[in-house]
Structure 1
Amino acid sequence: MSLNPVALEELVRRVLLEDVGPGDVATSAVVPEDVRCTAQIVAAAPGILCGHPVARAVFRALDPSVEYTPLVPEGSEVDAGAPVASLSGPARPILTAERAALGLLQKMSGIATATRRLADGIKYYHARLVAGWETLPGLRLLEQYAVRVGGGQVQPYGLAGGVLIRSGHLALAGGVREAVVAARKSAPPLSRVAVEVASLEQVQEALDAGADILVLTGMDPETVKRAVEQASGKAVLEACGTADPSHLIEIAKTGVDIISVCDLAHSAKSIPFRLSIEGAKAQEKEA
């Protein structure tokens, strides 16, 4: 499991451009340029650690000589007070990158923690846990990575990655059948066509039109179960769930193939981390 290095580099550049801008006034004023330090990133609450590659990239973007060493593997469960990474190098870039690096680490660890909790709850059922389409442009790369680290799966990265016919498409196309047929004609040959359906009548329309994936929206568990029986394996069925583990179990019991949690990425509570400076000294100058 890895992050696209080109996309990560661009994301980090934009994050630092926003957070640091023309410079870190406080650090430049207080910390001499020749001071080096060692530090640790410490978890302030229990959770699933996610984001080592991102935190490393943030620190090293400001100074490639900064050494970032993970102390626990990516995806590990950590306790409050546990050191998760060590840092050494010039003090200024370490302090300047602190807020951005820890902020991303906190957000990604929160998503991974929430995902692991939900995925573990349905691991003995047929259904797969998938993060919904509601990830944020600009942070989608990190949000989807964190979901995978937590044990979930993700939707296509962007609108070009798959065909999802939503309710707005249905209203403008004239119905389920019309929208699916139109998508089949225009989409790339190997594309799978997914369509949102809100009733058992629309389920049948979608099946008759040859849709590959039926996204069951606004249905209670009993209706989802009936939709599963109606489809009888002719299409992949995806039901929308919430971040409530008990609700996910009820949905999983219906026999549906996929459970998507729309707010999984953006509603997860961040896991706090702090930077602990351990030692500092001025760099010895050459004679």
Structure 2
Amino acid sequence: MLDRLYVRKKIERFLLEDIGYSDLTTDSLNLTERIKASIVTKERGIIAGINFAKEVFRILDPDVKFPISIEDGTSVETDETVLVIEGYADSILKGERVALNILQRLSGIATTTSRYVEKIKDLKTRILDTRKTTPGFRAFEKYAVKLGGGSNHRFALYDMVMIKDNHIAVCGSITEAVNRIRKNVSPMVKIEVEVSDLNQLKEALSLNVDIIMLDNMSVEMLKDAVKIADGNVLLEASGNITIDNVRDVALTGVDFISSGSIIHSSRWLDLSMRIQNTAGGN
């Protein structure tokens, strides 16, 4: 779970973007009623972001209550209630879109990830995300990947070395790039190298790096790479991974499959908010 202070600061920015200096509609209605509203599903999926949605309403109304709330990671069917909000009408209406945006986006990512994971659940290979995320929303999106059963790759540029094709092009070779890195980073930092063919793979293997990314390789080439590596290094397959080919890639024996599409191409889960009645009503 993300730190609550981090989450609150982010959501305050989301609300400021949406509300600005005034919610012209809601503020002009002079709403003082206390009401109940429910967020319900309109399709099957995995729910992610419940606590973030709650924080939206807490920021707008410190006295808000949630008499019904499911847990993140719960599988849901159509027309299920995932959250009931009890509070002042103006606060609920102002928070509606931001809360739904977060829930729908994250639930979509969790649902998509779970489908990839389900395809290879009997194999050793793990699904990883990438840094292809929405600016400012990365921590939330990577949280959703974990709820869907996936694992997080590096969070950002600062927490792991990954020598990619453009680094290699600038340095002149994989060997030169790795040697430069090792002169400047702690030996505790893991080093991953991206390779695009089997000759580069052999060069990377000779350097005893921690992980080798096999970029845009065919299934047959991946099988050859696994044989050449012979268990001496962790292997990550990446590039053009889809729900249709993820199992074939996993069957080659790679340790990880990284996919940007589980985040950037996931479809939002369809959810909506319904006003039930006044908080004091039946």
TM-score calculated relative to the size of structure 2: 0.96
> Match of 2:186?
188
Helix, strand or coil: the match of 2:273? Answer: strand
The residue correspondences of 1:123-162 to structure 2 (distance < 5 A) are 123-162=121-160
Q: How far 1:233 moved relative to its partner?
A: 1.5
Inter-partner Cα distance in structure 2 for 1:41 and 1:262? 29
How many percent of aligned residue pairs carry the same amino acid?
A: 36
* Alignment counterpart, residue 208 of structure 1, candidates 206, 209, 221: 206
Q: Which deviates more from structure 2 when the two are superposed, residues 222-231 or residues 130-139?
A: 130-139
Q: Does 1:27 align with 2:6?
A: no
2:241, 2:92 → 1: CA distance? 36
* Residue among 45, 55, 58 paired with 1:57: 55
Q: 1:243 to 1:105 in 2, by over 3 A?
A: farther
Q: Give me the whole-angstrom Cα distance separating, in 1, the residues matched to 2:235 and 2:195.
A: 10
- The AA in structure 2 aligned to 1:4 is D
1:222 aligns with 2:256: no
Provide runs of 4+ in structure 1 moved above 4 Å. Answer: none
CA distance in 1 between counterparts of 2:202 and 2:168 reads: 15
Cross-structure match for 2:98:
100
SS across alignment from 2:269: coil
Q: When the two structures are aligned, how many residues end up with a matched partner?
A: 281
**C-alpha distance in 2, partners of 1:61/1:187?**
41
Aligned to 1:285: none
The amino acid across from 2:200 in the alignment is Q
Q: Which letter maps to 1:245?
A: I
Whether the 8 Å contact between 2:86 and 2:279 is mirrored in structure 1 is no
Give the Cα separation in 1 of the matches to 2:59 and 2:155: 25
State the one-letter code of the partner of 1:183: I
Aligned-pair Cα RMSD in Å? 1.6
User: CA–CA distance in 2 between the matches of 1:143 and 1:128?
Assistant: 18
- The question of 1:164 aligning with 2:142 is answered no
**How much has 1:189 moved relative to structure 2?**
2.2
The answer on whether the counterparts of 1:31 and 1:91 sit within 8 Å (CA) in structure 2 is: no
Distance across 2 between alignment mates of 1:124 and 1:242? 22
Q: Answer yes or no: is 1:255 the counterpart of 2:256.
A: no
Structure 2 gap segments, 5+ residues each: none
CA distance in 1: counterparts of 2:224 and 2:131, whole angstroms? 25
2:88 to 76, 82, 90: 90
Residues 50 and 70 of structure 2 are in contact (CA less than 8 Å); yes or no, is this contact kept in structure 1? no
How far apart are residue 246 of structure 1 and its match?
A: 2.9
- Which among 112, 115, 120 is matched to residue 118 of structure 2? 120
- What is the letter of the counterpart of residue 73 of structure 2? G
Q: Give how far 1:243 is off.
A: 5.3
- Residue of structure 2 equivalent to 1:36: 34
Pair 1:246 & 2:240 matched: no
Equivalent in the alignment of 2:15: 16
Q: CA deviation at 1:73?
A: 2.2
- SS of residue matched to 2:87: strand
Cα distance in 1 between the residues matched to 2:208 and 2:183: 12
**Alpha-carbon distance between aligned partners in 2 of 1:158 and 1:123, rounded to the nearest angstrom:** 27
TM value normalised by structure 1 = 0.94
Deviation at 1:235, TM superposition (A): 1.1
Give the Cα separation in 2 of the matches to 1:107 and 1:27: 25
Give CA deviations for 1:205-260 in whole Å, capped at 9, x if unaligned: 10111211100001001101111111111211000154532300000110000000
Partners of 1:103 and 1:205 in 2: how far apart? Answer: 46
Contact kept? 2:87, 2:279, Cα under 8 Å: no
Q: Choose 35-44 or 243-252, whichever is displaced more.
A: 243-252
Q: Which moved more, 1:104-113 or 1:271-280?
A: 271-280
Q: Is the 8 A contact 1:44 1:274 kept in 2?
A: yes
Aligned residue for 1:254, secondary structure, equals coil
Tell me if the contact between 2:104 and 2:269 (Cα under 8 Å) persists in the aligned partners.
yes
Corresponding position of 2:3: 4
Contact 1:98 1:275 in 2 (8 A): yes
Aligned to 1:161, the other structure's residue is in SS state: coil
SS at match of 1:138: coil
Unaligned runs of 5+ in 1: 283-287
Counterpart Cα distance in 2 of 1:231 and 1:133: 26
- Deviation larger for 191-200 or 233-242: 233-242
Deviates more, 1:181-190 or 1:145-154: 181-190
User: Take 2:172 and 2:184, find their aligned partners in 1: how far apart are those partners?
Assistant: 17
TM-superposed deviation, 1:15: 0.5
